[in-house]
Amino acid sequence: MAEKVEKKTGFFDRAKKYFAECRAELKKVTWPTKEQLIKNSAVIIVFVAIITAILSLLDVGFGWIFTVLTTVL
């Protein structure tokens, strides 16, 4: 029963193979156009601003409620 023995490759050989595969995969990527990138970035910025406003209002509201409850009790 002969077992197949695999030769271990060195670190630099594995690193070279890894980066070659990464480069091959990056060539397959469909990159967005400049216009798509600008529109998507604008949508994300607006969304973050809306979520920030909502969380800020909730923080102020809960802070006010906590203050009222602690002064009453």
Q: How confident is the model at residue 6 (pLDDT cuts 50, 70, 90)?
A: low
At residue 45, φ and ψ (nearest 5 deg) are: -65, -45
3-class state of residue 72 by DSSP = helix
Cβ atoms within 10 A of the Cβ of 33, count? 8
Alpha-carbon distances, residue 11 vs 14, 18, 36, 56 (angstroms): 5, 10, 40, 50
pTM for the model stands at 0.60
Residue 4 or 57, more confident: 57
